[in-house]
Amino acid sequence: MKNKNPILSREQINKVMSLYSQGKFEEAIVQIKVLNEIYPNVPLLFNLIGACYRQLGQLDGSIKMFKIAVELKPDYAEAFFNLGSVLMENKMIDEAIESYKKAISIQPNYPDAYNNLGNILKNDKEQLDAAIENLEWAIAYNPNFAEAHNNLGLAFSDSGRVIDAIRCFEKAISINSNYDNAYFNLAICLKDIGNKSEFIKNIEKAISLRPDWGDAYYHLCKDFKFEKNNPRVKKMESLLSSRVLGLNDRIGLNFALAHVHEKLDNTKEQFIFLNEANSLRKKELNYVIEKDQKKFSLIKEVFNSPTQLEIKPSPIRPIFIVGMPRSGTSLVHQIIGNHKEVYGAGELTQLTQYIVPLLVKSSSKKGISKKDFRSVRDKYLNFLTSFKSQEVIFLDKMPLNFRHIGFIFSSFPEAKVIHMNRDPMATCWSIYKYYFNGNSYSFNQDDLAQYYLLYKDLMSFWHKKFPNKIFDISYENLTINQEYETRRMLEYCELDWDENCLKFYENKSEVKTTSALQVRQKMYQGSSEVWKKYESYLQTLISGLNYYKS
């Protein structure tokens, strides 16, 4: 029988909280439901049961309970925060953002809410400024909030403010000397600016704190040579024998050991680990080439009749460096980016973000209008202004923008497109041996060969649609005749000669690619011949490319 005026006691609350803190979530739920019968419509109970459901992985039930809690108590900041967290886990990003904002509006001095909101926003390149602002508020309310310093560092890094990022990671470490993620992120930033010794120091610290961290081993082994019988190599091999090792760590360790054996000239062992790494990664991604075949076909269909905008010239002029990954785009970025009139912005994902929705629209037979192209133009140019650079010529070195050349010339008639050509086998071998976050086609030799042929076919299509507008340059020719090829590129880009372009290795800009340390070195030749050493292991790739028949 329900009490007429029931009042939930502190003792009853503590009993349920004790069960929760002990990890007895199902038992806590039973007790809370009993209390709900006696004390209906108590927001705290719905908040607690929502937290229990979340711990049990029952996200839909958790969301339902938190929503009831905030309906009963509209100024319940903690419940809005909890709701935001579980919505984020459930990939309901926009709703999560609104929940965190609501929590902050109720309780302005809420550092955890600012941190979580900033952490979401930093995943959207267009909202990096808002992410930074929220993370700075989190730190303002809690100066010793190590996680917020780390997240702010990531946001700064994505904004191209590498020195600020390094400062944030160092601050996070000063607060928590065992913060493995901060050491890892600091190491990657240091590698991106070419500081190899400090990179190694911090990545090794990250590994000491998390000894089975596959990604950390991968980054270390990719850029550091181990001597034969190094105990760390034995350690990595022993970790792979563990049944409890997670898939991501297993993939990273296999790629790491492949790099180790490559440098030790143990080709057989190299390919044992490399093939296993790629096989695991392909299974993880569940990639099928048909998806990209349809995408490329759709792109060609959209641009059978290219659209040309009538535009007002912009003071900002983009230069796009495109091609397959590992074709030399980073090298060209460093060369042209060292010109006094150019800002090297690195690999920007914005253009793809703006274009993908239009391709989806086109696939539904709605078509792409001039208004759509103008929207791409306005959004992209507006984004470039966020760099607050004195230079007005921007380099965008996203290799896979080769897919979007039609959008580029339709939306930016004044743009320049430099297309990197490299020997097909040199390119594909270099792709196959690296662990990419994207490039899902790259983890199987047959997929890789088919994707490369799609790329070549699409580039041929663009050359026909936009004759004499794309500047092709051979990576091999560039390494042999550096000054001649550099002069040709600058002339195409309508840039005066600048001797600094020959000293590209002195370019201090951040390089977020697998070749971050390589491009800090002087030009060298012969890299396009290295694959021949592994020819017997690459027969599927050779056959798929029709390499010796082309």
Backbone angles phi, psi at 156, to 5 degrees: -65, -40
A 10 A CB-CB count for 526 gives: 8
pLDDT value for 527: 85
> What's domain 290-545's superfamily in CATH?
P-loop containing nucleotide triphosphate hydrolases (3.40.50.300)
- What span, in angstroms and rounded, lies between the C-alpha atoms of 345 and 165? 16
What distance in Å separates the CA atoms of residue 149 and residue 92, rounded to the nearest whole number? 25
Q: Where are the alpha helices (DSSP H) in 159-266?
A: 162-175, 180-192, 196-209, 214-223, 231-240, 247-263
Pair 350, 380: CB distance under 8 Å: yes
Q: What is the DSSP string of 334-387?
A: HHHHTSTTEEE--S--HHHHHHHHHHHHHHTT----HHHHHHHHHHHHHHHHTT
The CA dihedral of 97, 98, 101, 107, to the nearest 10 degrees, is -120
pTM for this entry: 0.84
pLDDT attached to residue 522? 56
Residue partners of 255: CB distance under 8 A and separation at least 6: 214, 218, 221, 222, 273, 274, 277, 434, 435
**Structural tokens at position 61:** 């039930």
Indicate the residue type of 386.
S
Three-state secondary structure call for residue 296: helix
Look at residue 227 in the predicted model and tell me its pLDDT.
80
Report angle CA 94, 346, 523 to the nearest 5 degrees: 155
Q: Give the separation between CA 223 and CA 186, rounded to whole angstroms.
A: 16
Q: What is the pLDDT of residue 516?
A: 47
Measured CA distances, 413 to 96, 410, 472, 493 (Å): 39, 6, 18, 13
Strands 393-396 and 416-421: unpaired
| Annotated domain spans of the chain | 290-545
pLDDT of residue 520: 43
Residues 6+ apart with CB under 8 A from 290: none
Ordered per-residue pLDDT tens for the chain, 550 residues: 444 556 888 899 899 999 999 999 999 999 999 999 899 889 999 999 999 999 999 999 999 999 999 999 999 999 999 999 999 999 999 999 999 999 999 999 999 999 999 999 998 877 888 999 999 999 999 999 999 999 999 999 988 789 999 999 999 999 999 999 999 999 999 998 889 999 999 999 999 999 999 999 999 998 777 887 888 899 999 999 998 999 999 999 999 999 999 999 999 999 999 999 999 999 999 999 999 999 999 999 989 876 777 778 889 999 999 999 999 999 999 999 999 999 999 899 889 989 988 888 877 666 788 899 999 999 999 989 888 888 999 999 999 999 999 999 999 999 999 999 999 999 999 999 999 988 999 999 999 999 999 999 999 999 999 999 999 999 999 999 999 999 999 999 999 999 999 988 775 555 445 554 454 455 567 789 999 999 999 999 999 999 976 5
Maximum distance among all Cα pairs of the chain, rounded to whole angstroms:
92
Q: Is the dihedral of CA 151, 156, 157, 159 positive or negative?
A: positive
Q: Which residues contact 92 (CB under 8 A, 6 or more apart)?
A: none
Gap between the Cα atoms of 417 and 319, Å rounded: 6
Torsion angle defined by CA atoms of residues 54, 60, 63 and 67, in that order, rounded to the nearest 10 degrees: -140
Note the helical H segments in 264-347.
267-285, 289-302, 329-337
CA dist., res. 272 & res. 470, Å (int)? 40
Contact 138, 121 (CB under 8 A): no
The two tokens of residue 280 are 């695991």
Helix H, strand E, coil C: the string for 529-547 is: HHHHHHHHHCHHHHHHHCC
Tokens of 187: 């190491």
Looking at the chain, the number of H-run helices and the number of E-run strands are 26, 5
Residue type, 234: K
Distance (Å, rounded) from C-alpha 450 to C-alpha 290?
10
Assess contact for 107 and 77: CB atoms under 8 A.
Answer: yes
pLDDT attached to residue 1: 43
